[in-house]
Amino acid sequence: MSTDAPDLSGFTGTVTFLGAGNMGGAVLGRLLAAGLPPEHARVTDLADRTRARWEEQGVSTGTDNPEAVRGASVVVLAVKPYLVADVLDEIADELGGDSIVVSLAAGVTLATLESHAGDGVPVVRVMPNTPALVGEGMFVVTAGRDCTAEQLEVVDTLLRACGQTEVVPESQQNAASGLSGSGPAYIFYVADALAEGGVHEGLPRDLAVRLAAQTILGAARMLVESDEPASTLREQVTSPGGSTAVALRLLDEGAVRYRMSAAVSAATRRAGELGA
């Protein structure tokens, strides 16, 4: 799929968010930043503070889900996973026109989404991650059986305002959840450990935190912009007999590489259990 950030100022449809907390709010914030006219967005949320936040930005808000989805071109489900089926049951009578349902709910399958949305309603299952907040999200997307290529393109265009998109078969959604869905937490864990190491060696804590963050950002950008795999980039910064080689040897002795990949497997299994 395309990686260019879209300009949404000409978007003519309406995007309704059912739930605009952490994840829904991150996505909506980026859509508005990409030019989506606020009058083309609607929010329902039970939290007064959340509704007030979006009202201030010119988005109409409320608590009536069926009313909010009426005539919407895209309906983003961003409530907790255990609420998704109930919310779909509540709005099903208002769907069935041209509304595309986009679920951000971890683990909720297309079969569940489609059975509660109703016959013929186009549904897209998405696994997002929190860097969407800064426009660097990873959205792993699977289209349901009634979603056309054009409808998927509409969803892709919106999501690219918040980061990158990848389309996968649904059988890969749990693994994507284990990698990119949970992944920011692994990287924060690494950042924390790196900073702690710097502090241990005498760096002021705020400096150590900045060094760790910029190092991760720079390495990530090299990975994204380079054609080389991570293993080659790692070799290029590892002089024989040097300090980096000693450090990597220590990580290998602690099986850190194995543990990282096993962590992805554990999170993948757990995502499957939670989805079931």
Ligand X SMILES: NC(=O)c1ccc[n+]([C@@H]2O[C@H](COP(=O)([O-])OP(=O)(O)OC[C@H]3O[C@@H](n4cnc5c(N)ncnc54)[C@H](OP(=O)(O)O)[C@@H]3O)[C@@H](O)[C@H]2O)c1
- Per rule CB under 6 A, is residue 138 in the interface with ligand X? no
Binding region for ligand X (CB under 6 A) out of 17-25, 32-40, 91-99, 117-125: 17-25
Q: Pick the binder of ligand X from 7, 35, 39, 46 (CB under 6 A).
A: 46
* Calpha distance 143→113 (Å, rounded): 11
Let me know: does 124 contact 104? Beta carbons within 8 Å.
Answer: no
Q: Can you list the alpha helix ranges (DSSP code H) found in the chain?
A: 22-33, 48-55, 65-69, 84-91, 110-117, 149-159, 173-176, 183-200, 205-225, 230-236, 243-253, 256-275
Binding region for ligand X (CB under 6 A) out of 52-60, 98-106, 112-120, 232-240: 98-106
Pairing of strands 137-143, 15-18: unpaired
- Per rule CB under 6 A, is residue 131 in the interface with ligand X? no
In the complex with ligand X, the residue whose CB is nearer, 86 or 235, is 86
In the complex with ligand X, the residue whose CB is nearer, 80 or 205, is 80
In the complex with ligand X, the residue whose CB is nearer, 36 or 76, is 76
Binding region for ligand X (CB under 6 A) out of 3-11, 103-111, 186-194, 199-207: 103-111
Those residues whose C-beta lies under 8 Å from the C-beta of residue 96, and which sit 6 or more positions away, are: 118, 119, 120, 121
List residues binding ligand X (CB under 6 A). 18-19, 21-24, 44-47, 50, 65, 78-81, 83, 87, 104-106, 128-130, 181
